[in-house]
Structure 1
Amino acid sequence: MIDPAVLEPLADDAWPARERERLGGWRLNASSGHSMRINACWPLTAPDRDPDDAVAAVEAWYAARGLPSRFKLTDGVFAPADLADRLAERGYHASKDTLVMTGPARGEGDLSVRIFSTPDATFEAVFTASAGDPEDGRERIEALGRIPPPACFARLDVDGAPAAIGVAALGGGFAGVFGMRTVPTHRRKGLARRVLRALLAEARQRGAERAWLQVESDNAAAIALYADEGFEPAYRYRYWSR
């Protein structure tokens, strides 16, 4: 089982925020305020000051950017150990329980799944359309462009039109899977599974041995798909907001 202290820094680097700063072992991420991962403080190890002063500094940092302060607390990986209690005393509450799953970087190539090193306009159109909120989609598209190379962008077309997409960010011997999207009219046809397998096969060829992904804990269908492909629960995290 992977140590979250090893994987969490890789996860932060794989989906970079527009603006990043650190307070010792606390990583501050800010973008446009939509995707929580790139609009939250990740307190992975001890801050460079008194914890209460660090929390106040985080709040001031986000307030200066017109964003709410938010903390991403991962089970077993945050400092100090009583940070959740300190946040609760300041009016914060936990939400969006998310499961991190890990599995082997194994799969099979699929001639219908095209792999690119950067996202093209068609890929971005599918991604934006599936986001619901256009501003949310725009922020995520910008984040896609910041993924450090090497990265794999997969697109599966059906009858000449894009139907499913996915992304793998490579680093540290791992493939981090993001952005799995299927056009609504093509859901429940096994397309996401094909995209996932093609991404993992490509990642394996590029040296990745293991893969990880993040899925909201109440998304039973996605969890079942990933479990069927050999992924197992590794740990959880939650966002603390006021």
Structure 2
Amino acid sequence: MQHLASVRRLEAVGFRAWPAASIQYDGSWQIRLTAGHPSKRLNSVNPLDPSDHRDVEKRVERAAQRFRAYGRPLVFRQSPLAPPQLDAYFDAHGWRRFDETRVMMAEIDQLDLEDVLDHLPIREIGRYVDASIQVHGRDPALKPGLTEVLSSIRPEAGFFVLEEADTGPVATALCVHDNDMAGIFELATRADRQRMGHAREVVATALRWARMRGAEKAWLQVEAGNLAAVGLYEGFGFSDIYRYDYRQAPELSAHG
């Protein structure tokens, strides 16, 4: 039960840090939809009670109707809070499982945050969004949607950009300080500047900023297959708390 309590707290902190535009509930299933941004975390069904598994087939279809209205593919995000019976339903109907993600945490005062320069967070969201899109190599058409998401964050947020005078932004990270928790999001290094220590520098800077504001625990979500990022975080001192993955119906998977 203690494990599930930790999962519930981290899930709630994560939802506040990466807020969806529309949140509805079907029982304890949280249905998150965001017309302006395609992120799976912003467009997924999130079951939040392992015992809530009644009328699975009807509720999956109701969720599908809502997602169709938004023009989004139906995706379930399955954390340890999801009922096992729901995974069994997906298995029986051929739903694929993909993008396993590790949720990691550490005590900030036990992390190695030294030996890097400090950088102040930037105040202008638009400037951060431009840098993030450039560093990630994303479509500039995402700017309005990403700006809307970041502007909706209610806890204190620090927007960090490392820049080179001659080439511009090389690394970005978002740090959300929520009571005693500090979450790291959107970490990226520009493709031509990877493996040069920029990611470590921007993460250490962001967590020092959060520590100065009273955060005691650091946490993050990283795709299990991103071995470089996992190695970076383990090098800092992060360790796994739980994992989640996504499920999608076979007819949707066939269309990407």
Normalising by structure 1, report the TM-score.
0.88
The aligned residue for residue 42 of structure 2 is: 38
- CA distance in 1 between counterparts of 2:193 and 2:226 reads 18
1:54-203 to structure 2, matched below 5 A, reads 54-74=59-79, 76-79=80-83, 81-106=84-109, 107-108=113-114, 111=117, 113-117=119-123, 119-121=125-127, 123-129=128-134, 130-136=136-142, 138-159=144-165, 161-203=168-210
Contact 1:17 1:38 in 2 (8 A): yes
3-state SS of paired residue (1:103): strand
**Residues 105-124 of structure 1: CA distance to partner in whole angstroms, max 9, x if unpaired?**
24359655221355242x21
Q: Which amino acid aligns with 1:41?
A: V
Q: Which amino acid aligns with 1:149?
A: P
| Pair 1:24-2:27 in alignment | yes
**Residues 17-60 of structure 1: CA distance to partner in whole angstroms, max 9, x if unpaired?**
12211123211111246211101011112559633322222111
One of 212, 218, 223 as aligned partner of 1:211? 218
One of 237, 246, 250 as aligned partner of 1:230? 237
Q: Which amino acid aligns with 2:216?
A: E
Structure 1 residues 118 and 171: CA distance shift in structure 2, 3 A: farther
Normalising by structure 2, report the TM-score.
0.84
Contact 1:109 1:201 in 2 (8 A): no
Structure 1 residues 214 and 85: CA distance shift in structure 2, 3 A: same
- CA distance in 1 between counterparts of 2:191 and 2:72 reads 32
Structure 2, gaps ≥5 residues long: 250-256
- CA distance in 1 between counterparts of 2:139 and 2:92 reads 33
Question: After TM superposition, which residue ranges in structure 1, 4 or more long, deviate above 4 angstroms?
Answer: 46-49, 108-112, 135-138
* Higher helix fraction (1 or 2): 2
3-state SS of paired residue (2:121): strand
Contact 1:100 1:233 in 2 (8 A): yes
Q: Which amino acid aligns with 1:140?
A: L
The aligned residue for residue 14 of structure 2 is: 11
Structure 1, gaps ≥5 residues long: none
3-state SS of paired residue (2:151): helix
- Provide the aligned length of Structure 1 versus Structure 2: 239
Contact 1:126 1:165 in 2 (8 A): yes
CA RMSD after TM alignment: 2.4
- CA distance in 2 between counterparts of 1:77 and 1:26 reads 10
Contact 1:71 1:239 in 2 (8 A): yes
- CA distance in 1 between counterparts of 2:164 and 2:245 reads 36
Displacement of 1:163 after TM fit?
Answer: 1.9
Structure 1 residues 28 and 142: CA distance shift in structure 2, 3 A: same
